[in-house]
Chains A and B, each alone.
Chain A
Amino acid sequence: MDHAPTTLIGDALNRVDGPAKVTGTAMYAGDYKIEGGISEGYIVEAPVGPGRITKLDVSAAENADGVIAVLTYRNAPAQKPYGTPEDEGRFTQSHAVLENDQVRHFGEPVALVVAETLEQARYAASLIEIEIEPGEGVYNPLEHRDQEEQPESVDGLSEVDTYEGDFDAEFAGSDFTVEASYFTGAQHSAAMEPHVTVAQWDGEKLTIHMAIQIIASAVSAFANTLGIDEENIRIISPFTGGGFGSKLGVHNEAILAALAAKHCGCAVRVAQTRRNVFANGPHRSRHLQELKLGAGKDGKLKAIRHYSLASMARNYPFAEAPASPTRASYSANAIHTIHRVVKADIPKVDSMRAPGEAIGTLTFETAIDELAEKCGIDPVEFRLINEPQADPTSGDDFASRRLVECIRTGAEKFGWSGRVKPGSRREGRKLIGHGMAVAIRPNTLSPASAEVSLTADGRLTARLDMTDIGTGSYTILTQIAAETLSIPADRITMELGDSSFPTTAGSGGSFGAASSGSALFDACNSLKSALGERLAQAGVTANAFTIKGEKIVAGDREIALADILDQDGLQAEGSVDPDNHGNGKAEYSYGVQFAEVEVDADTGELRVRRMVGVFDAGRILNRKTARSQLMGGMIFGIGGALLEESLVDDRYGSFMNRDFAEYHIAVNRDVPDLDVNMLDGYSKGSNPLGSKGIGELGICGAGPAIANAVYEATGVRVRKFPIHLEDVLDQLPAL
């Protein structure tokens, strides 16, 4: 080719939005200025819940300096009842707030103070007097096992429970077994940008700037909550400061901003404080997980049973599926997976990065490690022995599965030399442990659409309502367009995050890049065909062409774009329909994680010293941003294994550690050298791009690799997560 495109899919292109982000000019939701000014809303939370408001005196607040209004259930604009219509599902159902005198859970807003400045609103909020008559609440699922029930559905899976094979017989016939209960703590996504929404009404029209992962379902949520037409709602969200599941749907500040803007007749911003986020944003439920595993003398798995119990927030149907990885990781004669919930009077429970796998691999992969040890088989070898030929639960063929290659590559890169006797690997007063675990995460494709426009100046503009929450959407979409149309990346403008653009699935569930990317790929191919026709009409027949400046170059011919394009350029639309892909095959991304930890023999302090990850995510769309996402996932996994837990006060159903001083995410010095590797690949049939999901894969397996390393270092099998030094301290081997 004479004019090879400068940017290809897979290239390590720097983020195209990088300059905006490093200069502070990228506009996040809380950064918008609106002509005429923005009033500030401050949330007043219920101190307890459930309960009934018996006193709510806002008179002092209303009379405070700068206060425009105090919104309560008495004066809030009308809304559809919370949770309706029920068949809509959790993202699009009514998210009504300030409905009546009933409080569902602690931290729920009971008032919103709107003032000219934040300082005024915050002060006025302190003047509000609230009394609540507490009701009987269910907070801890483990204390209410009599109320456990099968949820109607679980996140990301078609079946709530699966029962393959005769578990009891296979377990009884096993030579080696593991039977253990695990506790995984509640957690918060804790994106660095707290939830924030700016709302403005112009007659019937509502304009929203908000931090959100999926725009289309947020439009429906506003429509269903406020009882208005979707056509009258526009959501703008070009940059979102991290999501990790917490911004999949709309939360209380969003509805409050819309209500307050209507009530006050002015633009209103409601930014959740960091403390608000822990009660007014979603969280991952604490889970009880029970595992029963059995294997023969040869190390072949015979029986697997994985039971999970979690909280489901009342009237908010979401249940995480920790047994998801258990269904697809290994071959076994019997695999039973069961998910149960107890409905609780707590803030929303929803997806947190790698729902299912993050905490499911944490327990399952540590139990597998334990079983391998009982069988006297190296954990690497044990996994190879139990590699399935088809999906163990559904029986479907795998679309593409290169887990064995990941494991072998990872073992070599890490320098895995087999297990040593726990507590025997030492450096001075440090106990050193090695551990490994596999990563698995379902790969999905969702409907999406896109439009592109090429103008005579040689510039391409693409529009999708896709979001970029740090995932690199702007960049990989630019690469897809650049390669498909042979146009330089710097001539492409990617416009995202606006509900007036073609609908995509947004960012979540690791489906964002494949779904929006495939739609854009289709749009670019349509545009390419249309350009080919225009060229043919101009007497140029070409199999390939390149867009260079204001010209189109085909072989030795150069034609001005202006000569073949219409006045307003040339437009094309594209889409992807998941029904046309997948072919009924089992779709997963895979990986392996190896970790080395050190445990201080005197204090029990746990540190991760290095990690190696090898991942099979099909075709990599950008080596640089993909590596970053996987690395970020591994760091998230360190948090899950050793740091992060939202502690519940079971007397009140409240979270106790609602800030970064007490909810510990990994900081820079908590993170060691991370060796991140991706297998070159192309997952044919997964989607038109051949890619697989990557955003959550890095977490999967990271935690259990660390936990297994902690075991080798100390000889202690900790069955609660996160693992803290006090969990190992009194059991450390003597030096």
Chain B
Amino acid sequence: MYPLHLTVNGTAHDVEVDPRRSLLDLVRETLNLKGPKKGCDHGQCGACTMIVNGRRINSCLSLALSHEGDEVTTVEGLADGEELHPLQQAFVEEDAFQCGICTSGQLCSAAALIDEIKEGLPSVVTGQDPVELNDEEIRERMSGNLCRCGAYNNIVEAIRSAAGEQR
């Protein structure tokens, strides 16, 4: 077991960690935050998406010990107390989920996506013009977050609506 210091949703943690433990299992099992889900454990579904130092990652593919000193945000860290994050509210309004198992990953991915667009980071569908938040960009950038219930179109609506509110 090895020592690890990291911050999750603003709370500092000092823990002893099995070097084989993924960031996902650390958060779920060691820290008991059950919002992030394990849909594949292979970085193929996005249900485990967390925001680490401002960038979204598949936490199942990342060893916990590689996150010394990192700032991690999970779905539990999006809301401001009782006040839902605009994305969370928009997901409820637009019915952007059904079973809900992929939702925490979708939300973390969407939150980071909005920041990526603000920073002007291009994607494979970005043309010569400066990147802007349109449906094609959202669909491309959210394609690493699978949803078997098929809430994709509502997810796009929710992200557009929440991003508009945040501007």
Binding site for B on A (CB under 8 A): 14-15, 17-28, 30-31, 33, 117-120, 122-123, 189-194, 239-244, 271, 273-274, 469-472, 624-625, 627-629, 631-636, 659-661, 665-671, 673-674
* CB interface residues, B 18-43, toward A, < 8 Å: 18, 20-21, 25, 29, 32-42
Q: Give B42 Cβ to nearest chain A Cβ, in Å.
A: 6
**What CA separation (Å) do A668 and B110 show in the bound complex?**
13
Assess the A14–B76 pair: CB atoms within 8 A.
no
- B contact residues around A120 at 8 Å (CB): 18
Report the nearest B residue to A673, measured CB to CB: B153
Contact B103 A671 (CB under 8 A): no
Is A119 a contact of B39 with CB atoms below 8 Å? Answer: no
Chain B residue with Cβ nearest A189: B148
B156 on the A face (CB < 8 A): yes
What's the Cα separation between A231 and B99 when bound, in Å? 29
Residues of B within 8 A of A670 (CB): 143
Contacts of B75 in A (CB 8 A): 22-24
Q: Known contacts A192-B147, A193-B39: does B98 contact A628 (CB below 8 Å)? A: yes
Complex-state Cα separation, A533 to B47, whole angstroms:
51
* Contact call A24/B143, Cβ cutoff below 8 A: no
With contacts A660-B42, A660-B44, A671-B153 taken as known, whether A471 is within 8 angstroms of B148 at the C-beta atoms is: no
For the complex formed, measure the closest distance between the CB of B33 and the CB atoms of chain A, giving whole angstroms. 7
> Could you tell me which residues of chain B, from 29 to 75, have a CB within 8 Å of some CB in chain A?
29, 32-42, 44-45, 47, 74-75
Least CB distance from A629 to B in Å reads 7
* Alpha-carbon gap, A671 to B140, bound state (A): 11
Question: Are B99 and A240 in contact, with the CB atoms below 8 A?
Answer: yes
| A23/B99 in contact, CB under 8 A | no
With both chains docked as a complex, state the minimum distance between the C-beta of B139 and any C-beta of chain A, in angstroms: 4
User: Chain B residues near A27 (CB, 8 Å)?
Assistant: 34
Given contacts A21-B100, A192-B101, is CB(A636)–CB(B107) below 8 Å?
no
Output the nearest chain A residue to B25 by Cβ-Cβ distance. A118
Within the assembled complex, what's the spacing in Å between the Cα atoms of A22 and B103?
Answer: 6
Q: Which residues on the B side are within 8 Å of A273 (C-beta)?
A: 41
Give B166 Cβ to nearest chain A Cβ, in Å.
Answer: 16
Q: Which residues of the other chain, A, contact B45 by a CB distance below 8 angstroms? A: 192, 274, 660
Tell which of A30, A192, A669 touches B148, judged by Cβ atoms closer than 8 Å. Answer: A192
A30, B36: Cβ atoms under 8 Å? Answer: no
The distance in angstroms between the C-alpha atoms of A628 and B37, with both chains bound, is 22
Does B15 have its Cβ within 8 Å of any Cβ on chain A?
no
A629, B88: Cβ atoms closer than 8 Å: no
- Given A24-B75, A661-B42, A669-B140: A191 touches B99 (CB 8 Å cut-off): yes
Docked CA distance A564–B95 (Å): 39
Chain A neighbourhood of B12, CB < 8 A: none
A674 contacts which of B88, B91, B139, B153 (Cβ < 8 Å)? B153
Given A191-B99, A192-B101, A628-B98, A19 contacting B153 (CB threshold 8 A): no
Chain B positions within 8 Å of A15 at CB level:
92, 95
**Given A22-B84, A192-B148, A242-B149: A667 and B95 interface contact (C-beta under 8 Å):** no
Which chain B positions have C-beta within 8 A of A624? 95
Known: A19-B88, A193-B39, A244-B148. 19 other contacts (CB 8 A): A14-B95, A19-B92, A23-B78, A118-B29, A119-B20, A119-B25, A120-B18, A191-B99, A192-B37, A192-B147, A192-B148, A239-B99, A242-B98, A624-B95, A628-B95, A632-B150, A667-B152, A668-B145, A669-B136
CB distance from B140 to the nearest CB of A (A): 5
Residues of B within 8 A of A26 (CB): 100
B interface majority secondary structure:
loop
The answer to whether B42 touches A274, judged by C-beta atoms less than 8 angstroms apart, is yes
**Which residues of chain A have C-beta atoms less than 8 A from B98's C-beta?**
242, 470-472, 625, 628-629, 632
Closest chain A CB from B150 CB (angstroms): 3
Contact call A241/B101, Cβ cutoff below 8 A:
yes
A22 touches B92 (CB 8 A): yes
Cβ distance B21 to chain A, nearest Cβ, rounded Å: 6
Tell me if B121 is interfacial: C-beta within 8 Å of chain A.
no
Which chain A residues border B40 with CB–CB below 8 Å?
Answer: 194, 274, 659-660
Min CB gap A424→B, angstroms: 28
B18 partner, pick from A24, A119, A628, A667, beta carbons under 8 A: A119
* A554 CB → nearest B CB, Å: 34
Interface CB pairs A-B, < 8 A, 18? A22-B75, A23-B75, A23-B76, A24-B35, A24-B36, A26-B100, A28-B34, A30-B38, A190-B148, A242-B98, A244-B148, A470-B100, A625-B98, A631-B153, A632-B151, A660-B45, A660-B146, A671-B153
- Min CB gap B86→A, angstroms: 11
Chain B residues lying within 8 Å of A18, measured Cβ to Cβ, are 91-92, 95, 97
Q: A22-B103, A192-B99, A241-B99 are in contact. Are A671 and B152 (CB under 8 A)?
A: yes
Chain B residue with the shortest CB-CB distance to A211:
B101
| Closest residue of A by beta carbon distance from B77 | A24
A22-B91, A241-B100 are known contacts. Are A659 and B148 too (CB-CB below 8 A)? no
Given known A27-B34, A665-B148, contact A239–B18 (CB-CB < 8 A): no
Contact of B142 with A by CB under 8 A = yes
Nearest residue (CB) in B for A26 is: B100
| Among candidates A14, A23, A123, residue contacting B20 with C-beta atoms closer than 8 Å | A123
Residues of A within 8 A of B44 (CB): 274, 659-661
Categorize the interface residue count of chain B.
35 or more
B68 to chain A, nearest CB (A): 19
Report the bound CA distance from A141 to B76 in whole Å. Answer: 49
Q: In the assembled complex, which residues on chain B have CB atoms less than 8 Å from the CB atom of A30?
A: 37-38
Q: Are B152 and A22 in contact (CB under 8 A)?
A: no
Known: A632-B149, A667-B146, A668-B142. A192 touches B102 (CB 8 A): yes
In the A-B complex, list the 5 residue pairs whose CB atoms are closest, starting with the nearest: A24-B35, A470-B99, A241-B101, A632-B150, A470-B98
Instruction: Write out the residue numbers on chain A whose beta carbons fall within 8 Å of the beta carbon of B149.
Output: 192, 242, 470, 628, 632
Contacts of A31 in B (CB 8 A): 34
Q: Does B93 contact A (CB under 8 A)?
A: yes
Q: Which residues of B contact A21 (CB under 8 A)?
A: 97, 100, 103
**A469 surroundings in chain B (CB, below 8 A):** 99
Q: Which of A239, A627, A636 contacts B100 (CB 8 A)?
A: A239
Cβ-based interface call for B154 (8 A): yes
B92 contact set on A, CB distance < 8 A = 14-15, 18-19, 22
User: A18, A243, A665: which has the most chain B beta carbons within 10 Å?
Assistant: A18
A628 touches B99 (CB 8 A): no
Query: Contact flags (1/0) for B130-141 with A, using CB distance below 8 Å?
Result: 000000101110
Q: Select one of B29, B84, B152 contacting A668, CB under 8 A.
A: B152
B155 within 8 A of A: yes
Residues on the A chain within 8 Å of B84, using CB: 19, 22-23
Assess the A242–B148 pair: CB atoms within 8 A: yes
Contacts of B34 in A (CB 8 A): 24, 27-28, 31
A193 & B139 in contact (Cβ 8 Å cutoff): no
The docked-state distance in angstroms from the alpha carbon of A661 to that of B46 is 12
Report whether B35 and A669 are in contact in the complex, using a CB–CB cutoff of 8 Å. Answer: no
For A634, list chain B residues within 8 Å (CB). Answer: 150
Q: B101 is contacted by which of A23, A242, A271 (Cβ under 8 Å)?
A: A242
Could you say which of A123, A243, A625 contacts B95, with CB atoms under 8 Å apart?
A625
Contact status A242-B99, CB under 8 Å: yes
Residue from the list B18, B78, B101, B147 in contact with A28, Cβ < 8 A? B101
Measured CA separation A470–B151 after assembly (Å): 11
Contact residues in A for B39 (Cβ distance below 8 Å): 192-194, 274
CA distance A634 to B21 in the complex (A): 38
